[in-house]
């Protein structure tokens, strides 16, 4: 599989999807702008990922670090940092394969889904380091939450994405 990163226009679409997703999550979980700082995460696409952050089997991969990679912290600063690794090549393959699926609604779905995980991990609703069985159950819960939240959102092409992935159970890998 060729691992081509998003082009400039596609990065702009992803950035829009992130804004929409953060707003949806903020409204659902009642997270203020200042509270978002508590949720230590970053979203990066393929061109900004290390080799071990890339997969060919999922739309995204959530990596957990003790701190932001490359960042020096004081000893008193601890806590998990989550990196949502967007797999551009896998997403583009899905968009190319299914002409009903648009890049914006698909990335909005993926980012919303991943941010729900981040919030649930940060609030200790779900443990990151869980068994395969627990991860599967968590994936079903997050998929249902994502579906419910986005079903109410008016994004052109989103009904097609929701329909295409309604039975999907694994969106990403947890590492």
Q: Give me the half-sphere count of Cα atoms (radius 13 Å) on the Cβ side of residue 150.
A: 33
175 belongs to a structural domain: no
173 belongs to a structural domain: no
Question: Which of the four pLDDT bands, split at 50, 70 and 90, describes residue 127?
Answer: low
Which pairing describes strands 41-44 and 172-174: parallel, antiparallel, or unpaired? unpaired
How much is the pLDDT for 78? 55
Q: Mind listing the pLDDT tens digit for each residue in 30-58?
A: 998 888 878 889 999 999 999 999 999 99
172 belongs to a structural domain: no
User: Residue 71 belongs to what domain range?
Assistant: 8-167
Angle value at C-alpha 39, between 36 and 44, nearest 5 degrees: 100
Q: Which residue has the higher pLDDT, 170 or 128?
A: 128
The proportion of the chain whose per-residue pLDDT surpasses 70, expressed as a percent, equals 85
Structural domains of the chain, count:
1
């Amino acid at each position: 599989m060729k691992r081509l990163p998003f082009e400039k226009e596609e990065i702009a679409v992803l950035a829009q999807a992130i804004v929409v997703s953060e707003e949806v999550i903020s409204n659902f979980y009642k997270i203020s702008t200042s509270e978002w700082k508590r949720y230590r995460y970053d979203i990066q696409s393929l061109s900004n990922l290390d080799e071990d952050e890339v997969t060919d089997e999922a739309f995204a991969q959530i990596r957990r670090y003790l701190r932001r990679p490359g960042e020096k912290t004081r000893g008193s600063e601890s806590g998990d940092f989550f990196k949502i690794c967007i797999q551009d090549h896998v997403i583009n393959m899905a968009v190319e394969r299914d002409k009903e699926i648009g890049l914006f609604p698909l990335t909005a779905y993926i980012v919303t889904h991943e941010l729900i995980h981040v919030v649930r991990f940060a609030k200790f609703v779900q443990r990151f380091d869980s068994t395969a069985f627990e991860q599967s159950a968590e994936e079903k819960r997050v998929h249902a939450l994502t579906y419910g939240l986005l079903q109410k959102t008016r994004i052109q092409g989103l009904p097609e994405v929701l329909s295409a992935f309604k039975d999907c159970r694994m969106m990403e890998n947890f590492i």
